[in-house]
Amino acid sequence: MLFRIAVALSAALVVASPRRGSAQVRLEIGPAIGAYRPGGPAIEGCSLKSSASWRCGASSASSYTQTGAAAVGARITVSPWDRGATAGRLAFQGSFSYVPSQYVSSESLPGFEPIDGTILVADLRVAVRMALGSPAVSGLLMGGPALIHSDLTHSTSVGGAVGGGIDVHLGRVFVLRADAVEYLYSLDLESDYLRFAGGDNSRHDLAVSIAISARTGR
């Protein structure tokens, strides 16, 4: 689902951008890889083999912590303006990431096996470029809406993404980008044997990634 949304967002970026007849469009497309660190409270759960409800009691409860994982995905960046005060400074970026995370129990006992916590993330960011003293290097401030799907809750949350990065232009064709983005959102967990510790379902995940993109336009 999120993959289709990410593709649709990318297509919308291209379609909505001005054509060459009116303004130069710069397009960057490429894969991305990095690390994803989930943030927020742990979840509490009962042994799946002892009971399917909280009637199992505190003696059978355990704390589950979500693990960090590698993140793989892709991104597309469109810079639609090349004239006036906004020349080269504004861009739109759409990205998609797959994160095979897990929730791991503090108990090393049968019935407390890891729980699938895979995350799928799609976002659309507005990026503001800043000169860093070299024509080949620029800084980025980014922010925008995000969709985060969790296999734990089998639901998709609407949140926000905010962060920064650095672009390094490798000749006229390739761009190397390193960035760090924090995703802020909430999860709704409806389960007879799992709940968020303290009832707090807010999340603040950190993603650090590197991408090499091929560039068209100037």
pLDDT in tens, 59-85: 456 778 889 999 999 999 998 765 444
Nearest to 176, CA basis, from 44, 32, 39: 32
- List the one residue out of 123, 143, 119, 105 whose CA is nearest residue 68: 119
Mean pLDDT score, 114-125:
92
Position 188 confidence tier, pLDDT thresholds 50, 70, 90: confident
pLDDT for 166: 93
- Angle (nearest 5°) at CA 43 between 38 and 49: 125
**pLDDT for res 21:** 46
CATH of domain 2-17+24-154+162-216: 2.40.160.20
In the chain, the percentage of residues whose pLDDT exceeds 70 is 72
Q: Is 20 exposed, middle or buried (0-12, 13-18, 19+ CB in 10 A)?
A: exposed
Dihedral sign for Cα 164, 40, 102, 188, please. Answer: negative
Element (H, E) at 53: none
Q: Which two tokens stand for residue 163?
A: 């962060």
Segment 89-95 shows an average pLDDT of 90
Mean pLDDT of 99-123: 83
Beta carbons within 8 Å of 103's beta carbon, 6+ residues apart = 43, 64, 65, 66, 67, 114, 115, 116, 117, 152
Average pLDDT of span 108-133:
85
pLDDT at 123 over 90: yes
Q: Pairing between strand 202-216 and 26-37?
A: antiparallel
pLDDT confidence of 95, banded at 50, 70, 90? very high
Please answer whether residues 147 and 122 qualify as being in contact, where contact means their C-beta atoms are separated by less than 8 angstroms.
yes
Furthest CA-CA distance within the chain: 70
Contact 208, 195 (CB under 8 A): no
Rounded Cα–Cα distance for residues 35 and 99 (Å): 9
Return the sign of the alpha-carbon dihedral for residues 210, 212, 217, 218.
positive
Nearest of 176, 7, 156 to residue 95 by alpha carbon: 7
Point out the least confidently predicted range of 26-35, 86-95, 189-198: 189-198
pLDDT at 41 (0 to 100): 80
Task: Please tell me the predicted confidence (pLDDT) of residue 85.
Answer: 42
Query: Span 11-30, mean pLDDT?
Result: 60
User: Which phi and psi (to 5°) does residue 204 adopt?
Assistant: -145, 85
Task: Report the pLDDT averaged over residues 157-182.
Answer: 93
**Model's pTM, two decimal places?**
0.79
Neighbours of 83 (CB within 10 A): 11
